[in-house]
Amino acid sequence: MRTFHVFSLALLLAFVFSFFYTSAQAQVDPFVNGSFETGDFTGWTVVQEPGSGGDWFVYSGNSTPLFSFVPGPPFGQFAAITDQGGPSSQVLFQDVEVPQDLNVECSVIVYYENTAGAFVTAPDLSYLTDPNQQARIDIMDPSAGDFDVGAGVLLNVFQTNPGDPASLRYTEIVFDLTQFSGTTVRFRAAEVDNQGVFNFAIDDVRCGDRVSAIPTLGEWGMIAMAGVLGLAGLIFATRRRNLAA
């Protein structure tokens, strides 16, 4: 029975270790105020193209500061959204240090309403390029220009394209920063409009538990090994009891 207890304890410890290891992986989040629950842009930077008639806003409820009616934030009380009273181009970004030697799976919740109906993907993010009606999310080189769509884009996370529906309900987009481990990258959300009002919103930008709670293959291997050890201990203890009988 003592052997059985030892193996049972080993099994328990292996599962506990695996659980906390997985939880540690899941809790890695380099973003500051990713859900905008401070009610402002703490941790973020907003840049407008000069002369723009719109901006990024933190909003709550069902309307923006410029009185567009939109769905309430999908996470918490606040989200970030663009709104405009004329042609505009604006970006919202945050530089993040990607943790070293970890799987850094991340996600963002996206929503848009394009009253113009159609998207136009011009080769830049300027409202002065007519027509231009698009939104995108990119992982950027921090040294790139704020409105760069060329070599400074390291990874495109989301982009509207001609033919896309005019509306998108709040939808989770998953992306992976593991390839940038140990470096600093820029998360950028950009929106440009000169065809009509275009509300583009993001919320709950994060890395971790929403998309990383499932054990990796290595963790599954650890769990399987613990199961084998526990089963071996059970068989061994059963045989000893049978022999003793």
Digit-coded pLDDT (tens) for 48-106: 999 999 999 999 999 998 988 999 999 999 999 999 999 999 999 999 999 998 899 99
Output the pLDDT for position 112. 98
pLDDT tens for each residue of 148-190: 999 999 999 999 999 999 999 999 999 999 999 999 999 999 9
159/186 same-domain check = yes
Q: Are residues 11 and 52 in the same domain?
A: no
Whether 175 and 66 map to the same domain: the answer is: yes
Residue in the block written with tokens 């059963």:
238
CA distance 103 to 208: 9
- Check the CA dihedral 63-72-60-114 and report its sign: negative
Instruction: List Cα–Cα distances, 141 to 94, 138, 147, 185, in angstroms.
Output: 11, 10, 12, 6
Going by C-beta distance under 8 Å and a sequence separation of 6 or more, which residues neighbour residue 79? Answer: 35, 36, 58, 59, 60, 73, 109, 111, 201, 202, 203
Task: Give the residue from 88, 163, 68, 158 showing the smallest Cα distance to 118.
Answer: 163
Per-residue confidence (pLDDT) for residue 101, from 0 to 100: 85
Instruction: Among 83-87, 200-204, 232-236, name the one with the lowest average pLDDT.
Output: 232-236
How many Cα atoms sit within 13 Å of 20 on the Cβ side? Answer: 5
Distance from C-alpha of 56 to C-alpha of 135, rounded to nearest angstrom: 13
Interhelix angle for 217-244 vs 2-26, to 10°?
170
Place of tokens 């799976």: 105
Distance CA 215, CA 15 (A): 12
- Regarding whether 169 and 106 lie in a shared domain, the answer is yes
Q: What is the largest CA-CA distance in the chain?
A: 90
**Residue 39's domain is classified under what CATH number?**
2.60.120.260
Are 124 and 239 part of one and the same domain? Answer: no
Considering the domain architecture, whether residues 69 and 48 belong to the same structural domain is answered as yes
Structure-block tokens of residue 122:
């011009």
For the stretch 118-138, pLDDT in tens is: 999 999 999 999 999 999 999
Strands 184-193 and 134-140 turn out to be: antiparallel
Distance CA 235, CA 161 (A): 60
37 and 71 co-located in one domain: yes
Residue span of the structural domain in which 171 resides? 30-207
Does residue 109 sit in the same domain as residue 224?
no
Q: How many helices (H) and strands (E) does the chain have?
A: 3, 10
Q: Does residue 123 share a domain with residue 9?
A: no
Nearest to 175 by CA among 110, 105, 92, 111: 105
- Our count of domains for the chain comes to 2
